[in-house]
Chain A
Amino acid sequence: MLLRKKIKAIKITFIIISCLFFLSGRCISSQLTEKLIEAGLDFISNPGDFIFDLHHDTMDYTPLPKNKFLGIHTNILLLANPALMNSVTVKVAVGGEKMLPQVGAFYGAWKTLALDMFSGSLGMSTADLSGWSAGFFVAINVDEDTRLFTNVNYSKFNLNIELEEPLIIIEDVLEFPGLSGDAYDTFIFTGIECTVGEYRDKIVIAQTGYGIRTNKIVAKILIHKGTMEFGLTIYPEGLLVIHPVLNMQFRF
């Protein structure tokens, strides 16, 4: 009887919250177009910031499992067109057993291979979009299921897209000749890794990084199972705050 009451209380709470979400959703629709235009203008005014967000989506800043020494990581699905950004991150590490800390280094790079190949047919005279990150990480075991880790890395990307003919949005007022820019920074990440699941076959990771030069905050919440990794990358100050990510990892 008590259990029924509890379940009923949960249901009522869910219904109330769902109704409130629904009612608020009606308020959004009227202003959604304005918000999208605002976001588009933000992107044009500072494309580098958004590309830097995508850069962090592709990179892997987590340590290796305790008994592994080599890891290869690549993104499958990115918030943008997955064909545009192809990345590989390679990690090597030593230690990590029992109470020994794991120490490792990584290098990751990405490049828009599809954009390179089809730049001519897309009306671009120059198309260079690539980035890389390199750094080291340290992970310590705090109990058999939990590790804390830190990652210090240097990240950089280049963006240079020139159109053969400027894209005219408003003649003589708003013309779009292309995109260019770069960004670089040293990021310090701290995070936690927890092994969960009925068979302890999943790893949940939460981490936060801070760019010393750009004051950029990057947070990631990831779930890793087998070779697949999915989760959210969070940029509180980004053009889009939450980016879903889907990655593959191979560990040896």
Chain B
Amino acid sequence: MKKKIFITLLMIIMVLKGFAFAQIEAEQPIAEEPAVTEEVTEETAVGEEEKSGEGVPKEEVAVEEPAVAEPAVAEPAVAEEIKEGKPAIAIQDFNAQGVSSSEAAFISDFFRSALVSLKAFRVIDRANMERILAEQGFQQTGCTTQECAVRMGRLLNVKNIVSGNFGKLGELYQMTVKVVNVESGEIIYTDSASCPSTDELQLKTGELASKMAAAIGVIPEEKPEPEKEPVKKEITEKEVESETVNRFRVPEFPEDEFEPPVRFERVGRPPVFAREPEKGGIAPYYSFQFSEGMAFPAISSGSVSSDWFFASNLVNDAGFILKPSERYSLMVFYELKYTGPGLERQEGRVFSEKTIDHIMFGQLQIGITDRLKLKVVRNYMTELQRSGTDEEWTTGMYNFNRTGTDIRMELSNVLGGYKFSMGLQRNYLSFPNYFNPIIQAQMGAAFSEAGGFQDQIAYAGVISLTGKNLRITWKHEIQDYEKQKVICSSGTYSDTLLQQDKSSALNISARLGRRFSVSPVLILKKKSSNQNYLHFEDFLDISPDFQAEYYNYIQGSISTVVRWRIFPELELFCVPRYDRRLYTSRNPRDVNNIFLTRSHQRNNAIIVSGGFTRFYDKVSSCSVYYTYVKQESNMKYEKYTPYNYTGQYFGIRFNFTF
């Protein structure tokens, strides 16, 4: 018990931490495009760390040079440096010796261009350099000493600064360069070159730049090439192939997937994350997931089979996103989903039940303003169910069809970068095969009209707030049954009162970290129904027990997805989850099917999954995982469905997503 309390407290603390973290993040302005936003935000954060790391030596220099303040305008140089992974560098105008200063400046421009073409540095261009220095009141003229170069480098916020001389000695043009590390103040590299004519100056400057880049370890040093034969065409093609292969493989850690550009909400299904096409374009989407494994349940009591079984699941999504203009986009998805036998079943269902779902979604998105979007979603769904006896798919009693419309308004960049969404849903569910022998018998003469007792219209209101690392959703749903009457305390069905269910659910999910990420999820749900329950001991029972408000409950679920991307190709994951459902009125039953009137039914489940995922390329991956399930309840009557069991599942999952 203490352990359970401890685990629960730990989970709550993690969620609260996630919330606090997200609040801090929310204070930073977030742009409209989430992918870009994430990149920029992270860069800024890293840039800040870099700056703070350099803070100590800067202060030391500042004592020597008290008149110079840290230039805020130089921050972009660091941000860009982090972005591209290249060190920032500045080039002072070369000192003229025996030539005009304009000629020396020209040569320094040659050198600057050569460094830019190497793509090994983030080179501060002359215009920016002059602007930043002018704003700080720094005079370049006469800045020829090493100390002055360091000071200039600090103002420009670069890692290294290059200074040099250009002159003419006799018939030869002479160039010397030296590189000063701004942080240490030391000269880390010097070199010189000469040439007899102006024609070769550009070439020599380029060589000097290449050697310098190699020497300070930015690019590999080019070894002098021996005389070689003309390159064969085959080799060239292989090199091209190699580049393509490198691009195709997973070259680096993927971008954050918590809030990618398009989050496509679907009623009753997890959202689809897809890339939006350019204006006037169309982007296809495809996803294939298949998992297969073995499940080993161990049921403590009852007559439900505890044999091991194979469990497989398959999800196939295909669709496209069409964007004819900036304002409009259309998304259409079709999903085929097979859910095989499994351990994690809902209450009242056995392990061996299987379903096939056909789900079709179409979403029209209209940009009303830059920040406000209207989304209209139309969905169709058919679910076919069958038990372990493999009856015909079309005869399942709980087979249903659903059609619905979801209208949502989405306002971006609120509360410091969050996306606020508010929507209404209306779904119609029909159960063509459902029958209720008791109510049909009671209806007597009206028996011919029997059927459709589960048909219902479900209305829902959804409000969500989505940030970079936090998502909060609240949903309230009302289900109006078309024919299902309410059972009265007299044990008969009401003439007029129809069943109505209401539920409210709060879902809070957060994500902390990237390569090592922790994503806690908290779900709280309350369900109430005006329906009651008659409990018949057997078919001959003429005085059934009446249970009022039998279906009302509150439920809490807390889980944490922990991911560690230890290599670009390999990720470890672990997902602990705890569910608890408390019925507010329902009494549990003992092993003899007798109600225990002094307590209310409660179900607890602990589910822990762990394993690893191997990413083969940008499209395909494979996971091997293990799941442990422990479900416990004070409901001990388990003749038909299991309430108390432990189970293990070993599985492998293939995933292809484009």
Interface residues of A (CB under 8 A from B): 6, 9-10, 13, 16-17, 20-21, 24, 27-28, 31, 34, 140, 142, 144-146, 148, 150, 190-192, 194-200, 204, 206-208, 210, 215, 217, 219, 221, 234, 236-237, 241-242
Contact = CB atoms under 8 A, between A and B. Distances in A.
Interface string B647-658: 010100010101
Contact of B617 (A27, A148, A194, A242): A194
A193 to B, nearest CB: 10
Interface of B: 238, 241-242, 244-245, 248, 284, 286, 288, 290, 292, 294, 296, 307-308, 310, 312-314, 316, 318, 336, 338, 340, 354, 356, 384, 390, 393-394, 566-567, 570, 572, 611-612, 616-617, 619-620, 624, 626, 648, 650, 654, 656, 658
17 contacts: A6-B566, A6-B567, A10-B566, A10-B612, A13-B611, A27-B296, A31-B308, A148-B318, A192-B656, A194-B620, A196-B616, A200-B241, A200-B248, A210-B336, A219-B314, A234-B290, A241-B310
A140 B612 contact: no
Contacts of A28: 294, 308
Nearest to B624: A17
Contacts of B290: 219, 221, 234
A152 B656 CA distance: 21
Contacts of A197: 245
Given A148-B658, A192-B286, A192-B619, A9 B566 contact: yes
A142 B336 contact: no
A145 B248 contact: yes
A142 B294 CA distance: 36
A222 B417 CA distance: 44
A231 B310 CA distance: 20
B658 A146 contact: yes
A142 B658 contact: yes
A176 B137 CA distance: 101
Q: Tell me which of B286, B572, B616, B658 has the highest count of chain A C-beta atoms within 10 A of its own C-beta.
A: B286
Given A196-B617, A234-B312, A242 B292 contact: yes
A10 B570 contact: yes
B244 A9 contact: no
Contacts of B572: 9-10, 13
Q: Tell me which of B338, B567, B572, B624 has the highest count of chain A C-beta atoms within 10 A of its own C-beta.
A: B338
Q: Tell me which of B288, B292, B313, B390 has the highest count of chain A C-beta atoms within 10 A of its own C-beta.
A: B288
Contacts of A13: 572, 611-612
A9 B354 CA distance: 37
Contacts of A192: 286, 288, 619, 656, 658
Contacts of A194: 617, 619-620, 656
Given A148-B284, A215-B384, A20 B566 contact: no
Nearest to A14: B612
Given A148-B284, A204-B620, A241 B650 contact: no
A150 B296 CA distance: 37
B316 A219 contact: yes
Per CB-CB distance, the 10 closest pairs between chain A and chain B, nearest first, are A208-B316, A206-B656, A190-B318, A206-B288, A215-B393, A6-B566, A236-B312, A236-B338, A192-B286, A194-B619
A236 B611 contact: no
B241 A241 contact: no
Nearest to B247: A145
Contacts of A206: 288, 620, 654, 656
A249 B398 CA distance: 45
A237 B390 CA distance: 9
A217 B658 CA distance: 21
A234 B288 contact: no
Given A13-B611, A190-B316, 4 more contacts: A20-B648, A31-B307, A204-B620, A219-B288
A6 B569 CA distance: 13
A208 B314 contact: yes
B654 A221 contact: yes
A196 B648 contact: no
A190 B648 CA distance: 33
B650 A24 contact: yes
Contacts of A210: 336
B648 A217 contact: no
Contacts of A10: 566, 570, 572, 612
Q: Tell me which of A145, A150, A208 has the highest count of chain B C-beta atoms within 10 A of its own C-beta.
A: A208
Contact of A146 (B566, B619, B654): B619
A234 B296 contact: no
A43 to B, nearest CB: 13
A234 B611 CA distance: 23
A170 B204 CA distance: 96
A198 to B, nearest CB: 6
B400 to A, nearest CB: 15
A215 to B, nearest CB: 4
Nearest to A208: B316
Contacts of A234: 290, 292, 312, 314
B168 to A, nearest CB: 53
Contacts of B393: 215
Contacts of B384: 215
A11 to B, nearest CB: 11
A194 B657 CA distance: 11
B566 A196 contact: no
A194 B248 CA distance: 10
A206 to B, nearest CB: 4
A207 B286 CA distance: 10
B294 A236 contact: no
Given A27-B296, A215-B384, A221-B290, A140 B626 contact: no
Contacts of B356: 215, 217
A102 to B, nearest CB: 14
A61 to B, nearest CB: 14
B336 A217 contact: yes
A28 B572 CA distance: 27
Contacts of B245: 197-200
B296 A24 contact: yes
Contacts of B294: 24, 28
A24 B619 contact: no
B608 to A, nearest CB: 12
A142 B650 CA distance: 35
B393 to A, nearest CB: 4
Contacts of B620: 194, 196, 204, 206
A27 B308 contact: yes
Contacts of B316: 190, 208, 219
Contacts of A190: 286, 316, 318
A17 B573 CA distance: 13
Contacts of B616: 196, 204
Nearest to A207: B288
Given A9-B566, A236-B340, A148 B650 contact: no
Contacts of A148: 284, 286, 318, 658
A242 B287 CA distance: 20
Contacts of A242: 292
A18 to B, nearest CB: 10
Contacts of B248: 145, 195-196, 200
A16 B574 CA distance: 13
A150 to B, nearest CB: 8
A24 B338 CA distance: 25
A215 B395 CA distance: 12
A101 to B, nearest CB: 11
Contact of B288 (A6, A191, A198, A241): A191
Contacts of B626: 16-17, 20
